Amino acid sequence: MPKIKIEKIIKADRNKVYNIITSYENFEKIFTKYFPSIRIRSERDEVSVIEMHIMLGKKEYTMMTKHVKNPPNLHEIFVIGGDCKGSRIVEKYDLVSEGTKLTVEADFKLGLFRKPNVSDGLQDIIDEFARVAEN
């Protein structure tokens, strides 16, 4: 199962970066290439359950995800259903002189859906988040 670690310096305020990446309700409008469908099922305090379709590489995955936020420096995603069930993604947001250092550590459980392009697909999404935050 792919374990992925990606680090990216984003030339933007940490709160801005964090808010863009955790504003799921905007994903279909802003990041349509990567998130063709998002449905927020539940939100309470800093925990959300979201049904999503996500494009990683050239493959679409359907997932039910639980998001746990600890603003402004931590966001954890647990895949609780669908493709990749059992996967976990941890996003850390650190202040650096250039802006924000985003570190993403992902442990994907892909089973029969294992594709080598998952890492590249995740990198593409992070690059797009950075582009939006820096503009």
Classified by CATH at the fold level, domain 3-134 comes out as: Alpha-D-Glucose-1,6-Bisphosphate; Chain A, domain 4 (3.30.530)
| Single-letter amino acid code for the residue at 60 | E
Q: pTM value?
A: 0.91
Largest CA distance in the chain: 42
Compute the residue count for the chain.
Answer: 135
Mean pLDDT of 35-55: 96
Determine what percent of the chain is predicted with pLDDT higher than 70.
94
Q: Of 24, 116, 31, 13, nearest to 72 (Cα)?
A: 13
Could you tell me which residue, 113 or 97, shows the higher pLDDT?
A: 97
pLDDT at 118: 84
Q: Name the residue ranges covered by the structural domains of the chain.
A: 3-134
Mean pLDDT of 58-73: 95
Q: Of 44, 5, 6, nearest to 129 (Cα)?
A: 6
Residue 111: band (very low, low, confident or very high) from pLDDT cuts 50, 70, 90? low
Mean pLDDT of 57-62: 89
